[in-house]
Structure 1
Amino acid sequence: MSFIDPLNSEAFEVFGQHVIWSDMIGNLAGLAALALGWRRSVLTWPVQLLSGLILLAANYSADLSGGMGKQLVVIVVAVWGWRSWRAGRRPGDGEAAAAGTGVRVRFATWRERAVLAAGAAVGTLAVGSLFSAYPDLSWNPWPDAYIFVGTLVAMVAQARGLVEFWFAWILVDLVGVPLNFDSGLPFSGLVYIVYFALVLWGMRAWWLQTRTAQAPATTAPAQGVAA
């Protein structure tokens, strides 16, 4: 018996859908990671790492190569993001982040948005073509490719403290929810609906944080004139 067999055993049945332990535990950990990310806590990364490891087993049980690839991306980027946030700096620019909150958030520049969008489009075409050429890799190549690449884009944006990472997660979830129901992972589908609400909440929190961070810069000159 494989060591992952107990994780992929049935936990319970609801509305005729069989829920396995790995699907349930991994997604609950993912919810916790999302809530920690909203609070900009560095703990979001180790929890995401744990979630990725458990959901890797869940996607293996459902023969979702794209989903497995997505979780491998989650694991790798979680390690990178964890190191970056622990250093208290945004990757790439070396600026100190807000003390104790992991990273200083900001909106991406138009150039960064263009790079992320182009990377998502080219990456989806490349991975989708690979999955189509080798059917054993995925039974649903283009949605799998979209989710795989979209997850990578979202997590890179999160590690850099970009508010746009929340928008990327919304776009991934729009495809991920129906695909999980169709693939026999109903708990993932249900949890992604909860994810959507948390994403909207987190997006608002990060958006407001960017305005708070900009406030000192806008008020400083006026204070200097007054002095």
Structure 2
Amino acid sequence: MNKRLLWLGLALGTGLILYTSSTPLEAIASLTGLLSVWLTAREHIWAWPIGLVNVACFFYMFYDVKLYADMTLQLFFFALGLYGWIVWLSGRGDAKVRPTSRIARAEAGWLVLFLIAASVVWGFLLHRYTDASIPYADALIAVLSLIAQYLLSKKVLENWYVWIVVDVLSIGLYAYKGLDAVAVLYVVYLGIATAGLFGWKAQYAIQRGGRTDG
């Protein structure tokens, strides 16, 4: 069932993106983003190189609509994309990618503190020194996305919980900014992230069972 939902999400997302995209760049950015997330949910290593193409497209597109926090975020995403590509291929044994892990309580606490501090500071700087249209919301989504990508790069299960929050907030933000294809993409992202969460949880349970039996 989970795989069928992922394939349905890919087909639906592709059709909606092609229908709503206003420019070729928007279509390419949305399609590569969709494919990258879909591959990530399936734990496929090709999610990373395709994701790097997606980052480059979104960097230019966010600059054009003055979402500067999201624009700057793409630089971090590019670095984390390279890092994640390496990490997923390490410590995998005979598997195609690295096993899924869970976040440590101490790390979760530090990430919450980072979220609060970075969102406030980044939002203030955007408000004070740029013409960003929604500075604090822009900063919050940007920092949440950075945390989610960091956890994803380490192949930590909890990345999906953060992505789900990002997707919900992003749907409203991008619809408000008139980026219809991107807003539609995030609706599909939300479905894929939910499917990814359940799929990774099931795979993690199998990993744990395998180690226990051994």
Q: What TM-score range do you get, normalising by the shorter chain?
A: 0.7 to 0.9
Return the match for 1:172 from 166, 170, 174.
166
Q: State the structure with more CA Rg.
A: 1
State the 1:25 CA deviation. Answer: 1.1
State the 1:219 CA deviation. Answer: 2.1
Listed as ranges, the gaps of 5+ residues in structure 2 are: 1-16
Say if 2:125 is the partner of 1:130. Answer: yes
Say if 2:41 is the partner of 1:46. Answer: no
- Aligned-residue identity in percent: 23
Q: For 1:106, what is the secondary structure of its paired residue?
A: coil
The equivalent of 1:6 in structure 2 is: none
State the 1:185 CA deviation. Answer: 0.9
Say if 2:181 is the partner of 1:187. Answer: yes
Q: Distance in 2 between matches of 1:219 and 1:102?
A: 21
Number of residue pairs the alignment of both structures matches: 198
Q: For 2:22, what is the secondary structure of its paired residue?
A: strand
Q: Deviations over 1:190-212 (max 9, x none)?
A: 01000000000000111111111
Q: Distance in 2 between matches of 1:55 and 1:100?
A: 32
Say if 2:112 is the partner of 1:109. Answer: no
Q: Distance in 1 between matches of 2:94 and 2:27?
A: 34
Q: Deviations over 1:50-72 (max 9, x none)?
A: 00101112112212112212222
Whichever residue aligns with residue 38 of structure 2, its letter is: A
Give the RMSD, CA atoms, in angstroms: 1.9
State the 1:114 CA deviation. Answer: 1.3
Listed as ranges, the gaps of 5+ residues in structure 1 are: 1-10, 89-95, 221-227
Q: Deviations over 1:114-169 (max 9, x none)?
A: 12222212211121121122133x12101110121111100110011111101111
State the 1:13 CA deviation. Answer: 7.8
Give the structure with the larger helix fraction.
2
Say if 2:191 is the partner of 1:197. Answer: yes
Q: For 1:99, what is the secondary structure of its paired residue?
A: coil
- Is residue 81–residue 159 contact of structure 1 (8 Å, CA) maintained in 2? yes
Once the two structures are superposed, the pairs formed by residues 55-74 of structure 1 within 5 Å of their partners are: 55-74=58-77
TM-score normalised per structure 1: 0.81
